[in-house]
Structure 1
Amino acid sequence: MLNISKNRIKGKVDLNRYESYQWVMEEDFKSLPRVLMLLFGLMVALMFLPWTQNIQSRGFITTLNPSQRPQMVNTIIPGKIDKWYIREGQFVNKGDTIVKLTEIKDDYLDPALLSRTEEQIEAKERTVRSYQDKVQALDAQIIALENARKLKLEQARNYVMQARLKVESDSMDVLAAETNFQIAERQLQRTETLFKEGLKSVVEVENLKNKTQEAASKKISAENKLLSSRNQLINAQIDLSGIEAEYRDKLAKAESDKYSAISALYEGEGTLVKMRNMFSNYSLRADLYYILAPQSGYVVRMAKAGIGEVIKESEQLVSIIPEDYTMAVEMFVEPIDLPLVKIGQPVRFVFDGWPAIVFSGWPNTSFGTYGGLVVAVDNFIYPNGKYRLLVSPDPNDVPWPRELRMGTGAKGMALLNDVPIWYEFWRRINGFPPEYYYGVSSTESEPKEEKK
């Protein structure tokens, strides 16, 4: 039958007994070439049908708003679990209590910690007020010393002035006594001369001697009085200097006490601010014993369980999925396909659990797919060696199902250019990438003529 051998079975075997032979040898079989030609022509015609190039990738449901993504509730302080107020799968409103903690650190175990700290703050406030009063008292003392110093100095200056005037007066008295003494001596000499000549008596000579002695005595007395006045002037000047030094020392001591009080006042105020800060921290820490829900949503996973379990600072407790969120798909593309993706590019999705009939080259004829638009393209590569895209629902397409949940898988097809099927086969056979250029017309591709 295959004409491999020259031997023939015709005439030796009754072939009419075989039904397959009858089918093969029928005359209708002669139309097979026409059928084949028709199929070939149909295939050639199909090769010229339009085909939408696409980039396929898998992703999952997420949200564009970070506040709407699944959130882990962490503890700010370490503690021991005292009581749970929720269970897994339960819906909680924002501000609902999730768990109550008890203190485990020695510094905060005192049940009357806030009241004792407040008493310490009040005592420190009284200390600060006493330092303020002391500073005011020292200011008043300094003012009083300044006034007393002015009066004392004025009084001492008056004493000096009086002593100086007394010295001048006594100097004049000395000059007068000296003059009287000289006059008395000259009179005595003239009288003695006249006595020798017999013109004056002895009584007159003796009287003049007596007057001369009195004048000498008055002269010596005036000189002594002058020396005493000079000593008084010196003593008054010394007293003036002593008063100035005394009050300078008193004022310096008062200023020193004042600055010491001010230093203690500032130190007390600093300690008071620190204690108030501690009181605020203690108050806030007391509020942190109750962990509250940061937003409304469903509790999906509890990282800790049981009563009495100790948790560390910043440790995760539960995970909450928000009630309302704007859906988007996070998908990854190969680096070779990244230049082909742009903002606003359409994408078709098939979600896990939703039946669909997909024709990747004819998205309009697909059933059960949903449209989306690229809203963000990351500029850095991820550890998986791909680039991330964020795709939001297309407002002009069929709305995405409300039953979709965070993390649902999705298969995406980023739609590119429309090309004939034969071109797509030729591109894939040669390993060429999809069309790279967008909207380049034939006129734009031609070089422009230079202006003369």
Structure 2
Amino acid sequence: AIIAEIKDNYLDDQLLERTQNQVELKRQSVEAYGKKIGAQERQLGALSDQQQLKLEQAKIKIAQGQLMMQNDSINLRAAEIDYATARLRYDRMDSLYQRGLKSLTDLEARNLTMQQAKAKEISARNNWQNSKTEYQRLYLDLTTIRAEYDTYYSKVLAEQLSASTDQFDAESMVNKLQNQYSNYKARRGYHCITAPQDGYVTEAFVNGLGESVKAGQKIVSIMPSSYDLAVEVYIDPIDLPLMHIGEKVQVQFDGWPAIVFSGWPKASIGTFSGEIYAIDQYIGANGKYRLLLRPLANEENWPSALRVGAGARAMIILNDVPIWYELWRKINGFPPDFYQPKNVKNVDVASK
């Protein structure tokens, strides 16, 4: 049988090709995100190296500024000592001038020397203050470099994490599209319905041309052309303990005349030998347990004209007892004796 699509999602003749193209594009997107993540990883490495270099340069400048500040401090101390010495000499010269031992010219020379020393002291103090301020600025620059590169690093890292998230989403979409492509491809293979095995069509549930069918809807019923004969019979729960795998059974089929002598299976005519090969573990909806029977080896074959669904009546052979005991049991309504056969075939009980 050939079926055709009627849903809009599957009407495209190039559905598989377009879906495969989407898969390839998404796969390329995954690769692009991978390259972007790799570039950002290298960028993070470069930022880290650059930050380390800048920090080393800043530390070197701080060390230089500290040495300069110490040098300016030494120069300031020397200028202070020179000024103190020049002032002391001026005071001595002034004392001698007051006594008339030194001339005014000598006093003015001493005063000029003192003023020059004072100017040098002020210049040295200014240089020391400048070097101290520069040292503090360089130390602040070190902190600024750390904060600045940490900001750059955090920004690139956030972009990398965002790209990783996009890559994961793209990979998830690739898997989803691949699954969808596989489903479309498998669905295309279901347009031609073939039987799971050779057989005969027994009933058509959908008749006519161009009929619509739903998922899971029955279309036809097929009977296999090659099968193993088996008989399905049901017994009451009270008789279940008497049933055993491998128990011999005489089967009478509908359409085959039979003369049955109860208790003498070999004397019966028109019955066929079989054996129990499966017993359901759970009771059926009809309140009985199901047994499956198959032909007994080395006995008369079952009729080749039998068809699936034919009626059958099974007579299970129990323990051999005297005639008087069987008559007495039936008159009193007693069940057959419980017994365990000596040789029971090791066959698993079938699950229903």
Q: Give the alignment's TM-score, normalised by structure 2.
A: 0.90
- Deviation track 1:67-109 (CA, whole Å, cap 9, x = no partner) reads xxxxxxxxxxxxxxxxxxxxxxxxxxxxxxxx11101112111
Whole-Å separation in 2 of the counterparts to 1:423 and 1:202: 170
Counterpart for residue 324 of structure 1: 226
Whole-Å separation in 2 of the counterparts to 1:136 and 1:423: 94
Which residue type is aligned with residue 266 of structure 1?
F
CA positional deviation for 1:352? 2.0
Selected match of 2:58 from 129, 148, 156: 156
Whole-Å separation in 2 of the counterparts to 1:415 and 1:239: 106
Residues 1:348 and 2:250 are matched in the alignment: yes
Query: Per the alignment, in what secondary structure is the counterpart of residue 227 of structure 2?
Result: coil
Counterpart for residue 297 of structure 2: 395
Which residue type is aligned with residue 207 of structure 2?
A
Alpha-carbon contact 2:235-2:291 (below 8 Å) kept: yes
Whole-Å separation in 1 of the counterparts to 2:107 and 2:170: 93
Counterpart for residue 178 of structure 1: 80
- Deviation track 1:253-287 (CA, whole Å, cap 9, x = no partner) reads 11111111111111111112111111111111111
Within-5 A mapping of 1:302-451: 302-437=204-339
More helix by share: 2
Whole-Å separation in 1 of the counterparts to 2:206 and 2:80: 119
Counterpart for residue 187 of structure 2: 285
Counterpart for residue 187 of structure 1: 89
Whole-Å separation in 2 of the counterparts to 1:366 and 1:338: 25
Whole-Å separation in 2 of the counterparts to 1:272 and 1:256: 24
CA positional deviation for 1:227? 1.0
Whole-Å separation in 2 of the counterparts to 1:405 and 1:195: 155
Which structure: larger Rg? Answer: 1
Runs of 4+ in 1 over 4 A off after TM superposition: 437-440
CA positional deviation for 1:437? 4.3
Query: Per the alignment, in what secondary structure is the counterpart of residue 276 of structure 1?
Result: helix
Paired positions, count = 342
Within-5 A mapping of 1:170-249: 170-249=72-151
Work out which structure has the larger RCO, using CA pairs closer than 8 Å and 6 or more positions apart in sequence.
1
Alpha-carbon contact 2:254-2:310 (below 8 Å) kept: yes
Alpha-carbon contact 2:319-2:339 (below 8 Å) kept: no
Query: Per the alignment, in what secondary structure is the counterpart of residue 359 of structure 1?
Result: coil
Identity score, percent = 44
Whole-Å separation in 2 of the counterparts to 1:228 and 1:321: 107
Query: Per the alignment, in what secondary structure is the counterpart of residue 219 of structure 2?
Result: strand
Indicate how the Cα distance of structure 1 residues 258 and 382 shifts in structure 2: closer, same or farther if over 3 A, else same: closer
Whole-Å separation in 2 of the counterparts to 1:318 and 1:271: 39
Indicate how the Cα distance of structure 1 residues 417 and 216 shifts in structure 2: closer, same or farther if over 3 A, else same: closer
- Deviation track 1:306-351 (CA, whole Å, cap 9, x = no partner) reads 2101111101112222233222211122334333333322111122
More strand by share: 1
Indicate how the Cα distance of structure 1 residues 392 and 172 shifts in structure 2: closer, same or farther if over 3 A, else same: same
Query: Per the alignment, in what secondary structure is the counterpart of residue 419 of structure 1?
Result: coil
Which residue type is aligned with residue 391 of structure 1?
L
Which residue type is aligned with residue 36 of structure 2?
K
Query: Per the alignment, in what secondary structure is the counterpart of residue 416 of structure 1?
Result: coil
Alpha-carbon contact 2:229-2:295 (below 8 Å) kept: yes
Which residue type is aligned with residue 294 of structure 2?
S
Counterpart for residue 264 of structure 1: 166
Query: Per the alignment, in what secondary structure is the counterpart of residue 256 of structure 2?
Result: coil
Indicate how the Cα distance of structure 1 residues 278 and 377 shifts in structure 2: closer, same or farther if over 3 A, else same: closer
Indicate how the Cα distance of structure 1 residues 284 and 176 shifts in structure 2: closer, same or farther if over 3 A, else same: same
Counterpart for residue 349 of structure 2: none
- Deviation track 1:177-228 (CA, whole Å, cap 9, x = no partner) reads 1101111111112222223333333332222111111111111111111111
Whole-Å separation in 2 of the counterparts to 1:428 and 1:326: 37
Q: Give the alignment's TM-score, normalised by structure 1.
A: 0.71
Indicate how the Cα distance of structure 1 residues 177 and 435 shifts in structure 2: closer, same or farther if over 3 A, else same: closer
